[in-house]
Structure formats: C-alpha cells, structure tokens
Structure 1
Amino acid sequence: MKTLTVLRHAKSSWDDPVSRDFDRPLNGRGQRAAMVMGRHLRSAGLEFDHVIASPAVRIVETVEQVEAGYGGALAPAWDRRIYLASASTLLDLIHELPAGADSVLMIGHNPGLEDLVLMLVPDRAGDTLRDAVEAKFPTAAVAVMTFDVDDWGAVRSNGGTLQRFVRPRDLDPLLGPEH
C-alpha cells in the first residue's frame, strides 16, 4: 500500500513586483493557511517517508509555514520539474519515487495537482470528496490518496482511492474565499 498526499502551495501575492512568476512569495493569508494546514497534517497523524516539492518561492515559503504548524522539518527534495507541471509529468515523477517510501508528500501547483487527483481517482457517482476536488482545488488544499500497489511504478490512472480532501476554509472559515 502506498499513500500519496498532495499539497497545493498557499495563496501567493500578486502585489510584489517580481520579474518572474517563479519568484512570487506568499501573502499573509497564504502564510496563515499553510501553518493551519501543517497543524492539520500533524493532528491527522500524517507522516511522510519522502517529500518532493517545486522550488518556486511560494512553495519554499509554504513549506516553511507548514513545517511551523506541523512542528517538524519536512526536508523536501526540490525538483524543478514540478513547477507548473502537467498531471502526466507529475505521474512520471510518482513513478520515480523511492521504492522504500510508503507515504509521500508532493507539494506543487495547479492545475497539475488537481488534474493529477482527478486522473488517479476514478469518477464514481456519489464520491463527494472527488466531486469537491473537481469543483475547485484551492490554494493550500491537501488531498490524500492510497494505492493498492507495492511499487510507485505501478500507480496508474483510476487506480487510487481518495481518502481525504481538506481545504484551509474547512479548518478556519476566515481562510475561505469570502474573507
């Protein structure tokens, strides 16, 4: 059994005059949401054998805030290929994950992460978690999927089970879109 948790970076700032999208930092709300999600990961008992993340500034800052809420270092392997990657590219990266890692956290961007979840989890009537992902995978949201495989190379489309989908606003209404 393999468990893949995907975390979208927290809300970034469009107010900072950066020359590249890659360099956009988090805004204040994003920092708060990332810390809240870190606390949630800890309280849910989620632990990770391996963490892989985009090196974009907003991801680096998301990791820092998640670690503060989680109460421990995540020590991600930074992989530039995650930056704005498609679901297919992300699946290729999943296939390359270390065999000994049973629980992995991938931190990246949309639309790739949302598309990845929708590709890996079959569309079944009444699956409210998947429906919620399909409606919107907001910043700092977390999806946890399990796969009945022994090797990451065996992960395939429609082969996962979505165990959890949590948005910052589910934990703190002040982190919702209307605030």
Structure 2
Amino acid sequence: MKFKTVLRSEKKRLLICRHAKSSWLDTSLNDFDRPLNKRGERDAPDMGRRLLQRGIRPDLIMTSPAARALGTAVHYAGQLGYPLEQVQPNPILYAATVPVLIKIVQEMAPQVNTLLLVGHNPESTALANTLGGLAIDNIPTSGIVALEFAMVSWLELAAGKGTLLFFDFPKKQE
C-alpha cells in the first residue's frame, strides 16, 4: 500500500491588515458601503508593493466585504499578482470579535501557509495583540501586522503563540 505524501509547512504566517482610509464625504452611505478616500486609494497599493518587496506571497486573501476593506484587499491582490477572483470576502469579518476571528483562522485549510486577513479596528489591533502577545495601541489604516507561528495546523493557533515578523504602515519610516 502506498501513501501519498503531503508537504505541510511547519510554520504559518498571518498578516493582519486594517483597511485603508475610507471616505466620510457621502453621509447618506451606511458604514458598510463607505469607499476608500484618496489617501486610501494611494496607501493601499503602496502597502501591497511593500508586501511584494518583502517577498510575501499569500496563499489566501480573506477580507471583510465592507467596501473599504474589499477595496484594500483588491489593491493588495493587484500588487501581489494574486488572482482577484480568488479574493475571498467573508461577511463574518465585518463585525467579528477576537474569539470569532481566531476561530475563522483556525478553520483555514492546511495548505494555506500564509493568510492575509483584511478587516477593521479595533478588532484587527486586538487580534494582533492577542495572538502575538503585543502591546500595539492602534494599527493605523492600511497598517499590517505580520505574525509567524511554529505550527503545522491552523488548529494550533492560540493566544501569545505568534512571533512578530513586522509591523508596517504608510507613515512608518524605515
């Protein structure tokens, strides 16, 4: 009897991204439908380029379906050469609590080794702090916290288990 060998990484990377700056110009729009403003349209592609320069190649981009988050995810995908039709909106991400976000990540397929998650604050900051044992006051708009986990399965994801790879945002000077 032959067994098929499945290569599984012993490391997982989670990129927690806060959506880019959104517009408040049209007060008739509800919160969910607010688009990116000019700064957001500039910063999101720039942050996508920074990810590319770091050699980041997500296996999955999952995003809140809110207009500003989806727009951010599309910009990241475009810069990273990630197929736009594979960007995965998840309605639960729009107003998820940290325990719900952790559960969503724990349910990732084993072949996903690098997950780019685009969401909202304060949940994005709280998730990064919880998983990485960090003390970040606030992930700015378009900010990205990258954590690495020494684990084979996302099911092993737990508070404090992440190692900070980087924390980047548009106004950060390298």
Name the TM-score class by shorter chain: 0.7 to 0.9
Determine whether 1:11 maps to 2:13: no
User: Paired residue for 2:122?
Assistant: 111
Residue 25 of structure 1, aligned match among 22, 31, 35: 35
2:105 partner amino acid: I
Over the matched positions of the two proteins, sequence identity in percent amounts to 33
Deviation at 1:89, TM superposition (A): 1.1
Residue 62 of structure 1, aligned match among 61, 68, 72: 72
Determine whether 1:79 maps to 2:78: no
| 4+ runs deviating over 6 angstroms | none
2:46 partner amino acid: V
Distance 1:18 1:99, change over 3 A: farther
Secondary structure in 2 aligned to 1:169? coil
Deviation at 1:171, TM superposition (A): 5.7
2:128 partner amino acid: V
Secondary structure in 2 aligned to 1:5? strand
**Partner Cα separation in structure 2 for residue 118 and residue 72 of structure 1:** 27
**Partner Cα separation in structure 1 for residue 35 and residue 160 of structure 2:** 34
Deviation at 1:76, TM superposition (A): 1.6
**Residues 2-35 of structure 1, C-alpha deviations (whole Å, 9 max, x = no match):** 1111111000001123432100001000110001
**Partner Cα separation in structure 1 for residue 55 and residue 151 of structure 2:** 22
**Residues 101-131 of structure 1, C-alpha deviations (whole Å, 9 max, x = no match):** 1111111111111000110112xxxxxxx44
Q: Which runs of 5+ in 1 are unaligned?
A: 123-129, 173-179
CA RMSD of aligned residues (A): 1.6
User: Paired residue for 1:91?
Assistant: 102
Distance 1:144 1:158, change over 3 A: same
Secondary structure in 2 aligned to 1:135? coil
- Contact 1:51–1:77 under 8 Å retained in 2: yes
1:16 partner amino acid: D
User: Paired residue for 2:58?
Assistant: 48
User: Paired residue for 1:158?
Assistant: 160
Higher relative helix content? 1
- Contact 1:6–1:143 under 8 Å retained in 2: yes
User: Paired residue for 2:12?
Assistant: 2
- Contact 1:86–1:111 under 8 Å retained in 2: no
Q: Which runs of 5+ in 2 are unaligned?
A: 1-10
**Partner Cα separation in structure 1 for residue 168 and residue 97 of structure 2:** 22
- Contact 1:18–1:24 under 8 Å retained in 2: no
- Contact 1:36–1:171 under 8 Å retained in 2: no
- Contact 2:57–2:80 under 8 Å retained in 1: no
